[in-house]
Amino acid sequence: MLRLLVTGGMGFIGSNFIRYALRTRSVWTIVNLDKLTYAGNPANLADIQSCDGGGRYRFVLGDIQDSALVTRILDEGIDVVVNFAAESHVDRSIMDPVPFLQTNVLGTQALLDAVRGRSLERFVQVSTDEVYGPAPAEIVFTEETPFRPTNPYAASKAAADLLCFSSHKTYGTPVVIGRPTNNYGPCQYPEKFIPLVITRALENEPIPIYGDGQQIRDWLYVEDNCEALCWLAEAGQPGEVYNIAARTGVPNREVAERILNLVGRPVSLLRSVADRPAHDRRYALDDTKIRVAMGLFPAWTLDRGLEATVQWYVAHPQWWRPIKSGEYRRFYEDWYSQR
Ligand code: NAD
Ligand code: DAU
């Protein structure tokens, strides 16, 4: 048996992780602590909620900064913490960095403080390739590459990684850090590029492409990331960092064109808009370390992953249409009216 505390489990990757872990790890139990910000959506785990994961899953509404609450959960018996909870959207961090510092930096420190001195097997920190900053052409970054974050979100995640290292060195906290590239797949909030392109294409709306659209991201299907993070939770070496990648570097415009092709919409929907400030041109990671340690990885090609993702959004308009009103609409108008 392995008892997990998963934070931020109502968000995109966290909810996929919980569903995947309950399916593939029959002896795991999971407590999901989530504050339900705009990005946290109980509908992401409605199927698990209704069957209660066979008694192996429980949701707790709350903030990772609430030390008393976190302590109560830990007191019930937890072997592994997996920290997904974060403000995750780069554009929002450019508009207002403060919530990013609160959750990503102070929230991570609050969790580290809460686990200090406890007999925990692992504290898995879900970091990001953005901590390294942009990779020059032909270069791939290893786990030893120095941090060069360029936007407030990336800086807050780099700060969290440093706090994790310091907790490991100072107090012996069994920290394991995973640094995944850009994820995509079901239940991703439509502020992010791939679901934004899919949902706007489905509604025949213009699709904003920042600058020349030649920026490169390494698109990792969320289920492959979940398998890697499950492996970190059960076998990651405390004190170590693991890059998690797909090696699918493709320019944004090409990704959008592939999606339009799948949805059957014209490329004339793509509109060049003013670039994001400090827009990192390219991300590319060397993930040899985790591939060697885990064996076979990843399982999804970009073509298959995009097809599955498009199919999911086509089949679930009841999931994304309500999101696109209210808070989302206000954010969209604020941000894109400046572009
Ligand atoms: P998301 O924005 O979809 O979800 C974040 C979740 O955290 C939400 O459910 C939200 O309610 C919850 N949350 C926020 N603040 C909280 C707090 N103070 N206390 C408790 N819960 C809180 O994010 P995501 O895209 O699923 O990303 C998850 C993690 O993975 C983040 O740490 C992010 O930095 C990292 N990451 C994401 C990607 C990606 O492509 N999406 C890639 C690499 C790393
Ligand atoms: O690299 C990992 C990171 O990936 C994660 O740590 C972040 O949490 C996650 O949000 C993501 O950051 P990006 O900024 O790379 O993702 P986003 O989906 O916002 O943008 C992907 C690319 O698409 C990026 O080059 C910007 C571009 N883009 C994005 C939007 C929203 C556009 O051209 N137009 C858009 O409207």
Q: In degrees rounded to 5, what are phi and psi of residue 96?
A: -155, 100
- pLDDT, tens digit (0-9, with 9 covering 90-100), for 290-319: 999 999 789 999 999 999 999 999 999 999
pTM of the model: 0.98
Expressed in angstroms, the distance from the first to the final Cα of the chain is 51
Q: 80-83 and 57-61: which strand pairing?
A: unpaired
Cα 88 to middle of ligand 2, angstroms: 10
Provide the pairing of β-strand 216-218 with 249-251: antiparallel
Q: How many angstroms does the Cα of residue 182 sit away from the middle of ligand 2?
A: 8
Q: Is 278 exposed, middle or buried (0-12, 13-18, 19+ CB in 10 A)?
A: middle
Q: How far is the CA of 167 from the centre of ligand 2 (A)?
A: 30
Candidate from 38, 88, 184, 327 with most ligand 1 atoms within 8 A of CB, to mutate: 88
Residue of the CA atom closest to atom 42 of ligand 1: 182
Distance CA 147, CA 21 (A): 31
User: What's CA 294's distance to the chain center, in Å?
Assistant: 20
Residues 6+ apart with CB under 8 A from 217: 181, 182, 193, 249, 250, 252, 255, 283
**Does domain 2-249+278-327 match CATH 3.40.50.720?**
yes
> For the segment 76-92, what is each residue's pLDDT rounded down to a tens digit?
999 999 999 999 999 99
The rounded average pLDDT for each run of 10 residues, N- to C-terminus, in the chain (339 residues) is 98 98 97 98 90 82 98 98 99 98 98 97 99 97 98 99 98 98 98 98 98 98 98 98 97 98 98 98 98 92 98 98 92 93
